Amino acid sequence: MTKTIKKSKTRFEKRDMLATFVMLLPYVLLFSIFIAIPVALAIYLSMTSFNMVETPKFNGLVNFINIFTQDTVFLRYVLPKTLMYSIIVGPGGYILSFLLAWMLAQIQKGPRTIIALALYMPSMVGAVFISVIWRTLFSGDESGYINSLLMGWDIIERPIQFLQSPDHLMTIVIIVSLWSSMGVGFLAMLAGILNGNEELYEAAYVEGINNKFQEVRYVTIPMMKPQMLFGAVMALVSTFSNGYIGVSLSGTNPTPQYAAQFLTNHIDDYGFLRYEMGYAAALSVVLLLMILVFSKIAYKLFAEKD
């Protein structure tokens, strides 16, 4: 069967195959080198002991066993903090961005565009801007804006070293992450709601739904499941990519008393500061698995089944 197809291939089809190959090649090549191979390498290195001087020595699952039995910093701080942060900023930020998108869709175009821009703006300011803004606002002496505000209102008596304080750093990191989380996913959800079919809503009211909550539950969300899923994946990526915020606000890795020590910071700590590459790679694999679990949940919730 395949033989006859191959024989009957015309010059036209051959040229077609060649064009397809040429067009696909650059992306596949770059994707392999900079995305696929690093992931594969992480998995390989995670099963070795490697200090960058000697060649990697295979040691099976020792790194993983150490992570979950020996690494007290990981067990006491990194794991719970990462989970707490990712649950608040991930699903929390996601629900927030859906609610905001939904409210925006109910107002007129002019004000909507301006407010949407205001909400989106923090997500495009970039890492440099984020650390400059928040380090200035939360500056630890009395010239710090927030300190002087709180002192002016007699809430506090002396300035607080917010960014060096284990009690406050985590809260600040969460606020900053949420602040900058209305990104591409938020825009997609807004567009998804706006693109909704008016007749569906009218029909639903005829069918007997009678309040906004039911409208969202039975019309809006089912209608825009694809955008909901895209938004969820984007929320996931931005949540885990924003792990640097604690380090860039406090200026140290590890963060003061591991207050905002997330898995990404722990990886940098072992990889770039201690050169325990095998161990760092094992931590990367744990992180990738966490992301995978979160995305599986998102797909379970929103993917349309064929």
> Helix, strand, or coil here: 58?
strand
The amino acid at residue 62 is: V
Smallest gap, in angstroms, from Cβ of residue 17 to other proteins? 7
Binding of other proteins by 4 (CB under 8 A): no
Closest CB to other proteins among residues 243, 258: 243
Binding of other proteins by 74 (CB under 8 A): no
Token code pair at residue 272: 């770039």
Binding of other proteins by 182 (CB under 8 A): yes
Count of residues touching other proteins (by CB under 8 A): 113
Q: Comparing C-alpha atoms, which of 65, 134, 105, 94 is closest to residue 236? A: 94
The 3-state secondary structure of 20-37, one letter per residue: HHHHHHHHHHHHHHHHHH
Q: How far is CA 169 from CA 80, 87, 122, 198, in A?
A: 15, 17, 20, 46
Stretch that binds other proteins, among 3-11, 13-21, 80-88, 166-174 (CB under 8 A): 13-21
Q: Comparing C-alpha atoms, which of 187, 193, 181 is closest to residue 96? A: 181
> Helix, strand, or coil here: 57?
strand
Closest CB to other proteins among residues 75, 124: 124
Residues 33 to 72 in contact with other proteins, rule: CB under 8 A: 33-39, 41-42, 45
Residues 184 to 203 in contact with other proteins, rule: CB under 8 A: 184, 187-188, 190-196, 198, 201
Choosing from 62, 88, 288, 297, the residue that interacts with other proteins (CB under 8 A) is 288
Smallest gap, in angstroms, from Cβ of residue 170 to other proteins? 19
Binding of other proteins by 271 (CB under 8 A): yes
Residues 214 to 243 in contact with other proteins, rule: CB under 8 A: 224-227, 229-230, 233-234, 236-237, 240-241, 243
Binding of other proteins by 172 (CB under 8 A): no
Residues 147 to 166 in contact with other proteins, rule: CB under 8 A: 148, 151-152, 163
Closest CB to other proteins among residues 104, 170: 104
Interatomic CA distance for residues 90 and 262, integer angstroms:
14
Binding of other proteins by 259 (CB under 8 A): no
Binding of other proteins by 80 (CB under 8 A): no
Q: Comparing C-alpha atoms, which of 70, 43, 78, 83 is closest to residue 263? A: 78
Binding of other proteins by 136 (CB under 8 A): yes
120-129: long-range pairs with CB below 8 Å, 24+:
120/182, 120/183, 120/186, 120/187, 122/179, 122/180, 122/182, 123/180, 123/181, 123/182, 123/183, 123/184, 123/186, 123/238, 124/183, 125/180, 127/244, 127/248
Smallest gap, in angstroms, from Cβ of residue 143 to other proteins? 6
Closest CB to other proteins among residues 173, 287: 287
